[in-house]
Structure 1
Amino acid sequence: MPMSQPDASGSSEDGVTPDDQLHTRPGAEVSPEDLVLAAGRDVTPENLEWARRKLAEEGPAALDKLLP
């Protein structure tokens, strides 16, 4: 059975975005909320504080570690 190819919009039939279309924008500022959402966590005060600490320690690379 052939594998389906994503259409021009970049979405596939099962709703999964292909890895080659997932990326961060170089030079873009990363917010604590960005990091929380990329980690799959809910945006709560505790998770935002976690993200602030991660960003202070690792900088924008903290987001790169979570995304493909």
Structure 2
Amino acid sequence: MSTSQPDASRRPSDDHATPDDLLHVAPTETSPDDLVLASGRDITPSALAWAERKLASEGHAALDKLLP
């Protein structure tokens, strides 16, 4: 029986993982707004103040801790 698709065992493998640094491009600067939105909060003056304190103490890692 003939099929229109080539035998899977004869096809070249395209199963190469893409490196994370090509898949995930994060901004070089994280704004307080970014941090507030990533935390699921509304942008309010108190939430922005919280984000500014968090960024001052943790830097960009503050955003990395919130995102999967």
Preserved contact between residue 24 and residue 64 of structure 1 (Cα < 8 Å): no
User: Could you say which residue in structure 2 is the equivalent of 1:59?
Assistant: 59
User: Could you say which residue in structure 2 is the equivalent of 1:33?
Assistant: 33
> What's the offset of the Cα at 1:39?
0.0
> What's the offset of the Cα at 1:24?
5.3
Which structure has the larger Rg?
Answer: 2
TM-score, normalised to structure 1, is 0.62
Preserved contact between residue 23 and residue 67 of structure 1 (Cα < 8 Å): no
> What's the offset of the Cα at 1:35?
0.1
For the aligned residue pairs, the C-alpha RMSD in angstroms reads: 2.1
Per-residue CA deviations over 1:6-64 (Å, capped at 9, x if unaligned) read: xxxxxxxxxxxxxxxx9551x51000000000000000000000000000000000000
User: Post-superposition, which runs of at least 4 consecutive aligned residues in structure 1 deviate over 2 A?
Assistant: none
Instruction: Report percent identity of matched pairs.
Output: 70
CA distance in 2 between counterparts of 1:24 and 1:54 reads: 22
Structure 2 portions without partners, runs of 5+: 1-22
Which is richer in helix?
A: 2
Aligned residue-pair number: 47
